[in-house]
Every structure is written in C-alpha cells, then in structure tokens.
C-alpha cells in the first residue's frame, strides 16, 4: 500500500495566490464585461530589456549549431554567470565570494523552499510575521511546524514586523531559534532594516549557533544608500547565513526563470554528536542529485544584465516600477490610508480602514473598483488588517487603478 506523506495534508487550504485567482475568476464569471486591474500578485509587466533579448537570441543561435550546442550544464551553473555575479553584485560592496559558493537556480522560490531539506525536522524555526508563504509551507511539508490553530503553527516562533515596532522584528526571547527566515527588503511589507539592526540578527545567530536564511530578492530596488543589499555586508554573516537572490523582479525574469543562492564555505550545521557539516558541500550534493541545472539560454540572458548596456536598461525598468510605487504612495496617503513600504521596494503595505479585515477589504475593492490587492492575512497572523499592493503594473494601468480607488473611496 502506498501511503501519503501526511504532512502535506496539514497544508492549509490553497496557496494564497490560488485563492485570490479563484475569487477573481468567480467575479469575472459574474461580471464578464468588467475590466479587472490586478495590483495584487507580484508579477512584472515590462518586457525584457534589449541586452537580454539579444543575448537570448545569440544563445539560441549557438544551440542551433553542432559546435555551439549545449546539453546538460553544470548543476551549480556556468562559470561565466557565477563570475559576473561575484564581480558585480558582491565585490563592489566589499563582499568576497568564491565561484563555488554561488549556485544558479531557476528562481529564488525553488531554493527558499528546498533548502530546508538539509535540516533536521526537529529544528525550531523563527519567521518574521507577516512573511512570504513559501517559508512556512515548505517546512509544513516536512513536518517541522507542529499543529495549526487560530492562524498559527505550534512549532514556529512568530516575530511580528508591524507598524507598532517600526517594522523591525525583535530578537527571539526564551527558547533559542535554530533557523531564522529574514526577507529584506521585505515581502509583503516593502520595508527595510538598517545595518545596525541586521547586525543584531547575525550576532544572535553566531551566539546561538543558528542559521539565517536571508531572502534578498528585492535588493535591487533599494534606494537608500545606507541600507544593506546583502547580509554578507555584516561581519560574521559568512559563518551563519545563506542568501537567496532572484532575477525575476530585478530583470523581469518571471517567465525566463533564473536566480541564485549563496552558500558560503564557512557556514555549517551540527550532527547530534557535534560534528560540523558544511552546508556548501551538502547543498552541492543535493543539487547534483535533484537538479539538472538552469538552462544555458536563461544563464546567458542573466549574464547580459551585467553588461554596461544591461545595467542601464535594467535600472530603467526598476526606476519605472518605483515611479509607480511613489505615485501609489502619494495617492493612497492623500486619500487618508495608512501606508508603508514603496520607498525601497515595489510593494505598498496598507492598513485597512475602520477595522475591516483583509479579505473583506479585498472583496470590497474588487467589487467596488474592479481592482485586485492581496489580503495581508495570507502572509501570516500579523498581516490581518492590511493589504498589499504591487507596483509592477504599467503606468497606464496603475493610473487607472488609482483613479478607480479614489472614486470608490470617496463614495
């Protein structure tokens, strides 16, 4: 008899964005003529930049010849891309990495979900709340989170990141946390923390022999020069942190699929007997077994964003989205809404008015203005009473959505 992994049965209903899609589709069936604008799911809308397109065409042409054809690539990624990453993303910030500490993937979501496979199921995890749902769900799948009650998992330490504490999570008190999930710039709140605050987390991890899983997928959107782009800008982080990055929002690769994970050789975890195990070697072994590498075409595309032309073109796209974010902040605040984020990230985190729940506001906005947002409670218990807006739309559609929100809000 084939038995199911019962931990999968503990997952709560559908994935947040599947629930949103279901509700939006139901609305469209009932209102087939409605023009729905989504400011919810964080998918990009602007086309790939010319340097990337040119590189992809060139890579396809190579693959069409006997001499240029590429089969299976290295699981860790081609050296040309890893060299570009080390040279452009880290060296200018004083961070030294070797090529074999860089692992190319098909997007940060996969690795943030899969990396916890390397860790014993009894590890006690801590998450900032609200958080990206994949962090929790992937741990539920392995049986690490305990039981679910009243919106919380019993074996998870929730660390509120809210307006009340300035969106700066407090260090865990009481029982030490073994694995810490941090995401800055934060998804969904769009907020950031200073080097001083990030240093506190690194010091906590070093003191308690904990591991930090640091999601820096939105680092390219940071505007404040004093905000760290990488956890490795903090001394000692190489001994306690793994960092995840993505080209999805940086360069519009949501449909191309490419990102990378940094696993320093200095970071290790322990066996029950006290033997230290290198996570770098363990992750390499895992990838060689379960991952056949990112496509050559995608990696050449990613390499192109580091060319002089690519850097300029990618920055133009980032600026385009951040113009949306600034406009959204301005309009929503003038309407009297309490908003956060949007200054160093492409997300606006808005408090719902008059005690309205996240889902109630979602449905009221959908039916009243035909605009989609993301209910904050879907990101964790501290997200209740908030919604998330994304700045990834076109200027025209964002402007139209804000016009509708203004008319609806003033009724």
Cβ burial 1-16 (10 Å sphere, 16+ → b, else e): eeeeeeeeebeeeeeb
If asked whether residues 92 and 133 sit together in one domain, one would say: yes
Q: What is the pLDDT of residue 358?
A: 97
If asked whether residues 290 and 324 sit together in one domain, one would say: no
If asked whether residues 176 and 290 sit together in one domain, one would say: yes
Q: Are the CB atoms for 77 and 102 separated by under 8 Å? A: yes
If asked whether residues 33 and 146 sit together in one domain, one would say: no
If asked whether residues 293 and 316 sit together in one domain, one would say: no
Residue-wise pLDDT for 278-332, tens only, equals 999 999 999 999 999 999 999 999 999 999 999 999 999 999 999 999 999 999 9
Q: How confident is the model at residue 238 (pLDDT cuts 50, 70, 90)?
A: very high
If asked whether residues 80 and 163 sit together in one domain, one would say: yes
**Interval 85-100 mean pLDDT:** 98
Q: Are the CB atoms for 130 and 189 separated by under 8 Å? A: yes
Number of domains comprising the chain: 2
If asked whether residues 180 and 314 sit together in one domain, one would say: no
Q: How confident is the model at residue 203 (pLDDT cuts 50, 70, 90)?
A: very high
Spell out the alpha helix ranges (H) of 209-343: 248-251, 279-290, 296-304, 308-334
If asked whether residues 250 and 123 sit together in one domain, one would say: yes
2 in any annotated domain: no
Q: How far is CA 365 from the centre of its chain?
A: 25
Peptide bond into 185 cis (omega under 30): yes
Q: What is the pLDDT of residue 16?
A: 84
Give me the domain span that covers residue 170: 53-307
Cβ burial 257-269 (10 Å sphere, 16+ → b, else e): bbbbbbbbeebbb
Which residues are paired to 375 by β-bridges?
387
If asked whether residues 83 and 12 sit together in one domain, one would say: no
Sorted by sequence, the CB contacts under 8 Å of residue 328 that are 6+ apart come out as 39, 342, 348, 389, 391, 398, 402
Q: How confident is the model at residue 172 (pLDDT cuts 50, 70, 90)?
A: very high
Residue-wise pLDDT for 114-145, tens only, equals 999 999 999 999 999 999 999 999 999 999 99
If asked whether residues 112 and 190 sit together in one domain, one would say: yes
Identify the CATH number of the domain in which residue 113 sits.
3.40.640.10
| Location of structure tokens 């908003």 | 339
If asked whether residues 169 and 275 sit together in one domain, one would say: yes
Q: Are the CB atoms for 377 and 384 separated by under 8 Å? A: yes
Out of 307, 342, 358, a domain closes at: 307
Out of 307, 339, 372, a domain closes at: 307
Q: What is the pLDDT of residue 314?
A: 98
If asked whether residues 123 and 222 sit together in one domain, one would say: yes
1 in any annotated domain: no
CA distance 229 to 81: 19
27 in any annotated domain: yes
Out of 307, 341, 365, a domain closes at: 307
**Interval 362-390 mean pLDDT:** 96
Sorted by sequence, the CB contacts under 8 Å of residue 253 that are 6+ apart come out as 48, 107, 246, 247, 259, 298, 301, 302
Q: What is the pLDDT of residue 244?
A: 98
Q: Are the CB atoms for 361 and 349 separated by under 8 Å? A: no
115 in any annotated domain: yes
Identify the CATH number of the domain in which residue 24 sits.
3.90.1150.10
Q: How confident is the model at residue 151 (pLDDT cuts 50, 70, 90)?
A: confident
229 in any annotated domain: yes
DSSP string covering 186-224, please? -TTT-----HHHHHHHHHHHHHHT-EEEEE-TTGGG---
133 in any annotated domain: yes
Q: How confident is the model at residue 411 (pLDDT cuts 50, 70, 90)?
A: confident
71 in any annotated domain: yes
Q: What is the pLDDT of residue 18?
A: 84
């Amino acid at each position: 008899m084939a038995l199911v992994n019962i931990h999968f049965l503990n997952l709560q209903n559908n994935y947040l964005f599947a629930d949103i899609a279901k509700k939006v589709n139901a609305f469209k069936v009932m209102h087939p003529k409605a023009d729905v604008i989504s400011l919810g799911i964080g998918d990009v809308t602007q086309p790939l930049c010319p340097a990337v397109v040119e590189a992809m065409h060139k890579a396809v042409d190579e693959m069409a010849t006997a001499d240029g054809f590429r089969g299976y690539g290295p699981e860790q990624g081609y050296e040309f891309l890893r060299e570009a990453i080390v040279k452009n993303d880290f060296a200018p910030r004083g961070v030294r990495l070797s090529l074999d500490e860089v692992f190319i993937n098909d997007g940060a979501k996969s690795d943030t979900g899969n990396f916890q496979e390397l860790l014993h199921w009894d590890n006690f995890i801590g998450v900032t709340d609200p958080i990206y749902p994949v962090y929790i769900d992937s741990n539920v799948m392995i049986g690490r989170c305990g039981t679910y009650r009243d919106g919380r998992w019993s074996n998870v330490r929730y660390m509120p990141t809210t307006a009340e504490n300035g969106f700066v999570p407090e260090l865990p008190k009481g029982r030490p946390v073994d694995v810490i999930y941090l995401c800055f710039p934060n998804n969904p709140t769009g907020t950031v923390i200073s080097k001083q605050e990030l240093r506190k987390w690194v010091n906590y991890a070093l003191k308690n022999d904990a591991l930090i899983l640091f999601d820096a997928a939105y680092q390219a959107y940071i505007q404040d020069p004093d905000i760290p782009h990488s956890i490795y800008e903090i001394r000692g982080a190489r001994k306690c942190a793994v960092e995840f990055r993505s080209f999805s929002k940086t360069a519009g690769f949501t449909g191309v699929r490419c990102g990378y994970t940094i696993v320093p050789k200095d970071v290790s975890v322990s066996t029950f007997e006290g033997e230290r195990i290198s996570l770098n070697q363990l992750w390499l072994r895992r990838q060689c077994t379960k991952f056949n590498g990112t496509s050559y075409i995608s990696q050449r595309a990613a390499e192109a964003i580091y060319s002089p032309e690519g850097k300029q073109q990618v920055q133009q796209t980032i600026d385009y989205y951040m113009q949306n974010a600034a406009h959204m902040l301005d309009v929503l605040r003038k309407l009297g809404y309490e908003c956060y984020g949007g200054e160093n990230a492409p997300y606006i985190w808005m408090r719902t008015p008059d005690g309205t729940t996240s889902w109630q506001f979602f449905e009221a906005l959908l039916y009243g203005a035909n605009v989609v947002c993301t209910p904050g409670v879907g990101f964790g218990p501290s997200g209740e009473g908030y919604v998330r807006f994304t700045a990834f739309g076109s200027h025209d559609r964002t402007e139209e959505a804000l016009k509708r929100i203004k008319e609806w809000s003033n009724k």
